[in-house]
Amino acid sequence: MERRTLPPLSRLPAFEAAARHESFTYAAEELGLTQTAVTKQIAALEADLGLRLFERRNRAVFLTEAGRAFGRVVGAALADIAAETTRLRGGPSGKGLVLHCQLCEAFYWLMPRLAGFHERHPGLEVRVVSALVPLTAAPEPFDVAIQTTGRASGSARLAFTASDEIFPVAAPCLVPSGEIPLPVAGVARYPLLSHQVLPQDWMDWPDWFEAVGHPVPKGARITGFDSFPLVLQAAVAGQGIALGWRNTVSGLIADGKLVRLCDEAVFRPTEISVFRGARRGNHAETDALLSWLDEELAERQPG
């Protein structure tokens, strides 16, 4: 190995944490350093490499393409070193996989299907970590992650994307069956339930109406919630109409808890992103989980 090609190794932990969080502030908190110290270490690393790893805009930082690629390599290398160090010290082996998944998809889509993965791979343990926050705020390293495309992902490596479609859903008791399918304009006669967050990472009612070629009807009553599971529970309780993502609500529709209200839907070919993390070096197990997820998501795509 040409040691002269290596950057100063002491600067890599600060870079890896900043790349994973896509934030100098969160990296400093994780490492017990000041933000100034993290900034200086990354600036020195950039000077040594002769390129920018982050763009600084409006008091925020964003990985450059070079920074994202370097972050994946550094993250995987540090994860392997940490795993081997734990093994040498006689610590827990960390067997099994960590699957980070958005809370709603974990509860409504993943858990009902996970038994199928265990039947195929009976000796492989999968620990599901559900979260409302994006990958950059993940509480622990992961092997595989699922989240809505476009949310912050830091240096996580994209494995594949999957499609989804979005359409209005409600409890069967809310809309008389004789009125279904509802015209788009008729949807706004009922309370509209919305998942409202900043930044707005998910499609909301104004976007959906625009995508199907209708302006938001005048007099539409939109009630906001800070999590999508709450939106779905409110819809199941008959409090209004929610936007439903096919992959997430298909089980609720099959159980008769929700019904699809309109023929119109918004198809999004890359709505779901699945990432490979850098938690540890067991690539065969990670590949098995990724392959199964790819099959499960592909099976539910409209033909």
For the segment 200-259, what is each residue's pLDDT rounded down to a tens digit? 678 999 999 999 999 888 888 999 998 888 999 999 999 999 999 999 999 999 999 999
Predicted confidence (pLDDT) at residue 37 exceeds the cutoff of 70:
yes
**Averaged pLDDT of the chain:** 88
CATH number for the domain that contains residue 147? 3.40.190.10
pLDDT, tens digit, for every residue of 242-273? 999 999 999 999 999 999 999 999 999 999 99
Per-residue tokens: 155 = 């240096």
Q: Phi then psi for 120, rounded to 5 degrees?
A: -75, -35
Strands 241-245 and 192-195: parallel
Number of domain units in the chain: 3
278 shares its domain with 151: yes
123 and 169 within one domain: no
In this structure, the answer to whether residues 170 and 158 fall within a common structural domain is no
Radius of gyration of the chain (CA): 22
Same domain, 123 and 155: yes
Structural domain range at position 223: 164-268
Among the candidates 88, 106, 136, a domain finishes at 88
Residues 156 and 168 in one domain: no
Kindly give the interhelix angle for 12-21 and 35-49, rounded to the nearest 10 degrees: 110
**Is the Cβ–Cβ distance between 232 and 128 less than 8 Å?**
no
> Mind listing the pLDDT tens digit for each residue in 139-175?
778 899 999 998 988 888 899 999 999 999 999 999 9
Specify whether 139 is located in the same domain as 285. Answer: yes
Q: What is the pLDDT of residues 124-137, one digit of tens each?
A: 899 999 988 888 88
Residue 78 pLDDT exceeds 90: no
What pLDDT was estimated at residue 303?
42
What percentage of the chain exceeds 90 in pLDDT? 57
Residues 135 and 187 in one domain: no
Task: Give the pLDDT confidence of 91-124 residue by residue, as tens digits.
Answer: 655 568 999 999 889 999 999 999 999 999 998 8
- Tell me, yes or no, whether 157 and 287 share the same domain: yes
Q: 5: buried, middle or exposed (CB in 10 Å: 19+, 13-18, 0-12)?
A: exposed
43 and 184 share a domain? no
- What is the CATH classification number for the domain harbouring 84? 1.10.10.10
SS (H, E, C) the chain: CCHHHCCCHHHHHHHHHHHHHCCHHHHHHHHCCCHHHHHHHHHHHHHHHCCCCEEEECCEEEECHHHHHHHHHHHHHHHHHHHHHHHHCCCCCCCCEEEEEEHHHHHHHHCCCHHHHHHHCCCCCEEEEEECCCHHHCCCCCCEEEEECCCCCCCCEEEEEEEEEEEEEECCCCCCHHHCCCCHHHHCCCCEEEECCCCCCCCCHHHHHHHCCCCCCCCCCEEEECCHHHHHHHHHCCCCEEEEEHHHHHHHHHCCCCEECCCCCEEEEEEEEEEECCCCCCHHHHHHHHHHHHHHHHHCCCC
Contact 302, 267 (CB under 8 A): yes
Q: Tell me, yes or no, whether 175 and 129 share the same domain.
A: no
